Amino acid sequence: MSDNTIPKLFLKNRDIYRDRVALREKDLGIWQRTSWNEYWEHVKNFALGLKVLGLNAGDKISILGDNCREWLYADLAAQGSSAVSVGIYPTNVAAQVKYILENSESSFVVARDQEQVDKVLEVKHQLPLLKNIVVVDMKGLRRYSDPMIVSFSDVESLGKDLDAKHPGLFEDMVRATQPEGVAILVYTSGTTGAPKGAMLTHKNMLSMIAGVSQILNFRDTDSFVSALPLCHIAERMFSLIFPMWAGCTVNFAESVETLQQDLAEISPTAFLSVPRIWEKMHSSVVIRMKESVFFKQWVYKWMFGIGERVADYRLSGKPLPAAWKLLNGIAYWMLFRPLKNHLGLLEARICVSGAAPISPELVRFYIAIGVPIREAYGMTECTGISCLPRTNEPKIGWVGPPIPGIEMKLADDGEIMQRGDSVFVGYYGKPEATSEIMDDGWLRTGDVGEFDEQGNLRITDRKKDVIITAAGKNISPSEIENSLKFSPYIKEAVVIGDRRKYLSCLIQLEYENVAHWAQENRIAYTNYKSLANHPEVQKLIQGEVATSNKNFARVETIKKFTILDKELDQDDEELTATMKVKRSVVERKYKDLIDKMY
């Protein structure tokens, strides 16, 4: 592995797999296939085309748009040219796009469509280093006359011409890539300030996957689904790093909204997602069962009870009695198999939740129906995953021990610190920020945790988020919030209580589910706001809060709550692109509502 890079693995995979399918993407309802040979040709032509346009080693290429094959072509073309790829969230507004293009000193930006091009054109006069805007889909751009705009296909044509004159040039460029070279810049979500570009090398990425692969055992027959934004390190792992390591196939979901349908069509063997998606899939099952006839509800309750009992045996490490094994087999054919098929996870043998804490109740639900979900722990600065349970029967609430190659310890205040070859080389252009997070080779994660006797790690919370009540009690808000979000009627929960007499909570409704409940109960409403303010909905959520409170000590229970009359939105900078709440922004924005609860 010492001399390997991601592009070198790509070259190896091209020679091994050739005409096997590497990528699938839906176009007009039909799944289009790209073989490893075709994958290579696209990347090679695009890389050489950029070279013609003036790309040099070390230059930055930003990629702005939704997940698609061209996103990966551009990413690998940059890496294969010893340049650096920079992902930008497609939901970013023009000012945010400008910040990343400027901060990363990007020479090129690859834009998916007219919407993204318009953002760049709005700020291009403030970006003197930008040479070209490369556009994947030229629809709607016929009348655009800006000389910086060039189509993705035209760049590939330039590359084809250069390849014809200098065959083997790109292969030589790939072989010249170095493990210590920075391959990608991944911008943090910026929950506490302006995003910072984490510099990740080929060595970082390959060290991480070398450790993870010893646990998850990837196969070249595995099929992944790409749904989260590719500029996030979690999706980059499952759509690029892991497939390059093992030769897997990547399928592009049409969107997060169509993910359930896409999963059912693809039936992947490996699936990574954030807790919000796992919660949404769970709530769809719960609501569907509530709408079923009495007999189906009875069957579900009985069979799910069997699954829970079997899960208890497995999670405790006890042998499964023959009678329960037989009952679980019956439950599998009557409930769990069709349920997994409905979720699109019938063939899934690797299921990972990451990017934020997940509710223990949610993990138990999936294990009970036979979906082998594991909660991973990591961060952008350590190239994704740092801890992962070793089996499909994890210790619920714990994220497993560190992966091979990672060493961890706890600071005096309980902060988790780690070091290893997967730890990043620093923030681009921000040496002060780098020195703040690094301590003599150790990465300060900003998370507080504890280890058990087997070396499993439990994340208590973000160090800055731990609540200290007026009575001096330390409380982890994330555990309470995850318990609340296990309800199919609660989409987001923000627990408040720092330096206050008791805990309160801001709650966002799961609009679709609550709206359906309102219709079933003949409750009139016109929009989200009217629903949130309805007395019967207040009673519904009061019941859900009371149910959650049973799981906690008295000091940790929610005494008052307020239902937000609008949904939290990324456009309002209340959520990150991976749907994590920006706690400080929400607390500041809704200060008046919070004060009223006290």
Q: How many CB atoms lie within 10 A of CB 506?
A: 22
229 domain residue, yes or no = no
E strands along 390-437, which residues?
406-410, 415-420, 426-427
192 domain residue, yes or no = no
Here the CATH number for the domain that contains residue 88 is 3.40.50.12780
85 domain residue, yes or no = yes
Here the CATH number for the domain that contains residue 574 is 3.30.300.30
E strands along 327-433, which residues?
350-353, 373-375, 377-379, 384-387, 406-410, 415-420, 426-427
206 domain residue, yes or no = no
How many domains does the chain fold into? Answer: 2
> Chain-centre distance of CA 576, in angstroms?
11
For position 391, what pLDDT does the model report? 84
Output the pTM of the full model. Answer: 0.84
- The CA distance from 231 to 229, in Å, is 5
17 domain residue, yes or no = yes
Residue 378 pairs in a beta bridge with: 385
Cα angle for residues 89, 90, 94 (degrees, 5° grid): 95
65 domain residue, yes or no = yes
For position 192, what pLDDT does the model report? 54
For position 191, what pLDDT does the model report? 52
For position 190, what pLDDT does the model report? 55
For position 471, what pLDDT does the model report? 66
456 domain residue, yes or no = no
Using one digit for the tens of pLDDT, what is the confidence trace for 453-491? 999 999 887 777 778 776 677 788 888 998 999 999 999
Of 130, 163, 178, at which residue does a domain stop? 178
Of 151, 178, 205, at which residue does a domain stop? 178
Cβ atoms of 261 and 284 closer than 8 Å: no
Which residue range is the domain that position 34 belongs to? Answer: 6-178
354 domain residue, yes or no = no
For position 257, what pLDDT does the model report? 75
- C-alpha to C-alpha distances, 581 to 91, 273, 492, 533, 586, nearest whole angstrom: 16, 16, 8, 22, 8
Amino acid at 56: N
Using one digit for the tens of pLDDT, what is the confidence trace for 391-430? 877 888 899 999 999 999 999 888 999 999 999 999 999 9
Of 146, 178, 210, at which residue does a domain stop? 178
Q: Which two tokens stand for residue 67?
A: 């997940």
Query: Could you give the 3-state DSSP secondary structure of residue 168?
Result: coil
Residue with tokens 């089996």: 391
For position 189, what pLDDT does the model report? 65
Query: Could you give the 3-state DSSP secondary structure of residue 22?
Result: strand
Residues of the chain with pLDDT under 50: none
Q: Which two tokens stand for residue 224?
A: 């992944």
For position 45, what pLDDT does the model report? 98
For 11, phi and psi rounded to 5 degrees?
Answer: -60, -40
